[in-house]
Amino acid sequence: MKNNKKIIIANWKMNPASLKEGVKLLSDISKHVSSLENSEIVICPPSLFVISLMDQFSNFKFGLQNVFWHDKGAFTGEISAAMAKKSNIGYVIVGHSERREYLKETDEVINLKIKACLRNKIKPVVCIGETNRNDDQAIEYQLSAALTGIKKSQLKDIIIVYEPVWAISTHSQGVAAMPDDTFKGLILIKKALAKKFNIKNFFDPRNWVGKTSVATILYGGSVNSKNVSTFTSKIGFDGVLVGNASLNYREFSNLCLSV
Ligand code: PGA
């Protein structure tokens, strides 16, 4: 991460039902979190709403929940990273478990999308997480496959999210992973990055904090206003990816103020 600010990424998924409701949600959040110096808020609404919301809310950054891997052409229904960049989009969520499951996105496709984002100077927000608790191999495999062909110098432009699938609110009834599990996940990811990119002294915190950080690593999965600081302050993640709690202005505002 280039600075010490925590990143809060709101993944609205296929919500809310209308642009009007999206405007209301962001207006309400804006009233409560107008002056956040220690964190950066990125809103990822449905792509249909994003341009209008960007025009109305310059106090937030915006991202998409998906892009295609080619920059232009005959790809019905798709949006390219090149188009997103021209519309001033700074972030794209890539490899979310819901897309892996429902859209059958493979590691290969995820890798192509990451490269499309980097080619277009957009930060990919790469979700990595095991479906079954303690499946460390799945985490390592997903990470390695996602970052195939990526150079060490590009790591600073990538946001990695440790998001155990079993801890996402729709699977866990809103119960986040235990701090120990997330710490283990964080270390596993750092270790895998250190191995893949030949990063010396990966236990040295100076490699991972603030301006010198080699990678930005967030936690996702049932994050709320009460547990957020455990992940950011205690465990040491650079921020969080928030689904369900980002759709309630009170909860999300409190979460932003508690990071
Ligand atoms: P959740 O979703 O916060 O509702 O668990 C997170 C996500 O799926 O990105």
Average pLDDT score over residue span 138-167: 96
Average pLDDT score over residue span 25-30: 97
80 DSSP 8-state letter: B
Please identify which of the residues 98, 105, 140, 163 carries the catalytic annotation: 163
Which range has the worst mean pLDDT, 80-89, 141-150, 199-208, 234-243? 199-208
User: Is any ligand 1 atom within 6 A of the Cβ of residue 129?
Assistant: no
User: Does the global pTM surpass 0.85?
Assistant: yes
Average pLDDT score over residue span 61-66: 98
pLDDT value of residue 2: 46
11, two tokens: 């993944």
pLDDT value of residue 205: 64
96 as an active site residue: the answer is yes
CA-wise closest residue to 254 among 234, 222, 229, 217? 229
φ, ψ dihedrals at 177, nearest 5°: -65, 150
Q: What is the largest CA-CA distance in the chain?
A: 50
- Answer yes or no: are the C-beta atoms of 72 and 80 closer than 8 Å: yes
State the average pLDDT for the chain: 93
Average pLDDT score over residue span 215-230: 96
Q: Assess whether pLDDT exceeds 80 at residue 250.
A: yes
* Residue nearest ligand 1's atom 7 by CA: 243
Q: How far is CA 127 from the centre of its chain?
A: 6
CA-wise closest residue to 33 among 12, 62, 59? 59
> ω into residue 164 within 30 of 0, thus cis?
no
- Answer yes or no: are the C-beta atoms of 229 and 239 closer than 8 Å: no
Radius of gyration of the chain (CA): 17
Q: What is the pLDDT of residues 185-216, one digit of tens each?
A: 999 999 899 899 988 876 666 666 665 567 89
Residues in the chain: 259
User: Is any ligand 1 atom within 6 A of the Cβ of residue 221?
Assistant: yes
Q: Assess whether pLDDT exceeds 90 at residue 1.
A: no
Return the SS3 of 51: helix
Average pLDDT score over residue span 154-167: 96
Please identify which of the residues 32, 70, 96, 105 carries the catalytic annotation: 96
